[in-house]
């Protein structure tokens, strides 16, 4: 696959991912991750996840700035400092085949595991959430801990959106620094980063102005099937490596 084709695929996936996130709040990250792991080696795709979503996250942070819960952001970020270190240690030592198999299991769990039961969650608990989310996100490129934890707080929906985006931006800065210190050359991928950022911003702008004609339940089922198939692809890659 030549470089121009890779960039076209990335542009389409980044636009679609941001569009879906703006319309439904979920699903976009899986679409983008599926595309990057198709056109790039798995370790490179994981490292690039930390920068390709900056544009979309920044727009959400700016939109809900006044409602961000800063104590949660500070506590989560403090935990993330430890979590990124642990995740980078594992990432630099895990064989790609094992990484692919573990990623498949994670994706299947994200798709089909039952949701957490509702309940209160104290701000202090987000130190542990930060550690866990940072380890998983650094190792696999996809975190799965913060959003369910925020949903268990009494925060309003808009406060959850703003707080989540701010936490993840700060985590992505830490992850990007960790991958760079581990030898990943982001400069070699500047066309991918530029294309992903610009099309992501365009997708967010379009998605905010679109009224989806598909129901929430139907969309979530489609995303579950997509994530399941994505996990199967990683599992096959791992066991046949």
237 in Cβ contact with 37 (< 8 Å): no
Residue-level pLDDT at 145: 79
Residue-level pLDDT at 131: 93
Helical H runs in the chain? 3-24, 28-39, 42-52, 54-63, 70-91, 96-112, 126-140, 146-151, 157-181, 190-208, 216-240
Which letter does DSSP use for residue 26 in this model?
S
Residue-level pLDDT at 24: 66
Give the list of residues 6+ apart from residue 51 with CB closer than 8 angstroms, or none. 172, 176, 186, 193, 196, 197
DSSP 123-149: GGGHHHHHHHHHHHHHHHS---SHHHH
Question: pLDDT of the chain along its 241 residues, tens only?
Answer: 789 999 999 999 989 888 877 776 666 778 888 899 899 998 899 899 888 888 778 877 887 899 899 999 999 999 999 999 999 998 888 888 988 898 888 888 877 877 555 455 667 789 998 998 999 888 888 777 787 788 778 888 778 878 988 999 999 999 999 999 988 999 999 999 999 888 888 887 887 777 666 676 777 788 788 888 888 988 998 898 7
Calculate the alpha carbon distances from 186 to 42, 70, 123, 189, 198 in Å: 15, 30, 34, 5, 17
Greatest CA separation for the chain? 51
Residue-level pLDDT at 34: 87
């Amino acid at each position: 696959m030549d470089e121009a084709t890779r960039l076209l695929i990335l542009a389409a996936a980044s636009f679609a991912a941001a569009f879906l996130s703006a319309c439904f709040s979920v699903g976009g990250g899986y679409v983008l991750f599926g595309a990057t792991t198709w056109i790039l080696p798995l370790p490179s795709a994981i490292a690039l996840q930390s920068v390709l979503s900056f544009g979309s996250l920044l727009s959400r942070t700016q939109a809900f700035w006044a409602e961000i819960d800063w104590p949660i952001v500070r506590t989560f970020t403090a935990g993330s400092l430890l979590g990124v270190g642990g995740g980078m240690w594992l990432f630099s030592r895990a064989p790609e085949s094992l990484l692919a198999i573990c990623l498949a299991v994670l994706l299947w769990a994200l798709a089909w595991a039952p949701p957490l039961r509702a309940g209160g969650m104290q701000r202090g608990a987000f130190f542990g959430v930060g550690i866990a989310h940072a380890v998983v996100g650094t190792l696999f490129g996809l975190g799965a801990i913060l959003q369910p934890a925020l949903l268990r707080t009494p925060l309003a929906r808009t406060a959850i959106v703003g707080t989540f985006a701010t936490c993840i931006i700060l985590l992505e800065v830490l992850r990007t620094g960790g991958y760079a210190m581990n030898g990943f050359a982001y400069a070699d991928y500047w066309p991918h980063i530029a294309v992903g950022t610009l099309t992501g911003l365009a997708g967010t702008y379009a998605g905010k102005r679109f009224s989806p004609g598909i129901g929430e339940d139907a969309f979530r089922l489609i995303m579950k099937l997509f994530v399941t198939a994505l996990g199967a692809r990683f599992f096959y890659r791992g066991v046949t490596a």
